[in-house]
Structure 1
Amino acid sequence: MRRLVLLAPAVVLLAGCGPTIVTGTATTSPPSASTGTAAGAELPPDPQPGATKDCPYLDSEFVADSNGQHVSKVRVSADQPLPSCFFYRPDGKIQLTVRVYVGDAKTATALVNKAAPVDTSNPASDPTGWKGGYQSADDGAVYAVSKGASAVIATTNQKQSVKARTVVKKAIAALKL
Structure 2
Amino acid sequence: MRRILGVALLVTVVAGCGGEQGPAGDPSTSAAAASSAASPSSVGVGAPGWPGVGGEGKCPYLGSADVAQFNGQQVGKVKLGGEGERPACFFFRPNGEEQLRVRIFTGTEAEAKALVDSVAPVATSSPVTLDGGWKGGAQPTEKGAVFAVAKGGTAVAAVSNQKRTIAPKRAVEKAIEAVK
Say whether the fold is shared (TM-score over 0.5). yes
Correspondence for 1:71 among 69, 75, 92: 75
Residue 109 of structure 1 aligns with an amino acid whose one-letter code is K
Q: 2: CA distance between counterparts of 1:159 and 1:175?
A: 26
Structure 2 counterparts to residues 1-177 of structure 1, below 5 A:
41-176=45-180
Deviation per residue, 1:42-62 (Å, 9 max, x gap): 333421110101101111101
Counterpart of 1:70 in 2: which secondary structure? coil
Aligned residues: percent identity? 46
Give the superposed CA RMSD: 1.5
Counterpart of 1:125 in 2: which secondary structure? strand
Q: How many residues align?
A: 138
Q: TM-score, normalised by structure 1?
A: 0.74
**Which structure exhibits the higher relative contact order, with contacts defined as CA atoms closer than 8 Å and separated by 6 or more residues?**
2
Deviation per residue, 1:154-177 (Å, 9 max, x gap): 00000010111011001001331x
Asked if the contact 2:79–2:89 (Cα under 8 Å) also holds between the matched residues in 1, the reply is yes
Counterpart position of 1:17: none
Counterpart position of 1:7: none
Runs of 4+ in 1 over 4 A off after TM superposition: none
Residue 109 of structure 2 aligns with an amino acid whose one-letter code is A
Which segments of 5 or more consecutive residues in structure 1 lack a partner in the other structure?
Answer: 1-33, 35-39
Asked if the contact 1:142–1:161 (Cα under 8 Å) also holds between the matched residues in 2, the reply is yes
Which segments of 5 or more consecutive residues in structure 2 lack a partner in the other structure?
Answer: 1-36, 38-43
Q: TM-score, normalised by structure 2?
A: 0.73
